[in-house]
Amino acid sequence: MTLKKYFDKVIDAHVILSVEKYRHIAEITLMVSGLTLASKEESENMRLSIDRAVSKLERQVKRYKAKLTNHKIKKPQPEVVAVEEPEDFPDFTEREEDENSWPG
């Protein structure tokens, strides 16, 4: 697994491979840019356990990256519709100031 295509900086990685009778266990823990990813797999074959643990990490990374990109999607901007005023509509913006127009 090449983590460089997913993350720029891998801070720390721990890999524990153990054998208990016929169980081969692979544990992988990664710390990358404020995120800790962990996977543990066991099978009767060490290579299979490692491959499964790595596949689980890849799924976690892809899910995390998808979540980051989904949060960056911008909301669509509302459409601006121009409204034309009818020509016979009186224009009240240019009103003459008359002292007698207000009661008082």
Q: Give, for 100, the enclosing helix (H) or strand (E).
A: none
| pLDDT 10s digits, 60-92 | 888 888 887 776 656 566 666 666 666 666 666
Assigned domain for 55 exists: yes
Asked if the structure places residue 38 within a domain, the reply is: yes
In a domain, 12, yes or no: yes
Report the distance separating Cα 23 and Cα 19, nearest Å. 6
Domain count, the chain: 1
**41 within a domain of the structure (yes/no):** yes
Is residue 24 situated within a structural domain?
yes
Q: Please indicate, yes or no, if residue 97 is contained in any of the structural domains.
A: no
**CATH number for the domain including 18?**
3.30.160.100
Give 20-60 pLDDT, tens digit per residue.
989 999 999 988 777 888 999 999 999 999 999 988 988 88
Residue 78 inside a domain? The answer is no
Range of the domain at 57: 3-67
Phi, psi (deg, nearest 5) at residue 70: -65, -30
For residues 49 and 24, what is the distance between their CA atoms, to the nearest angstrom? Answer: 7
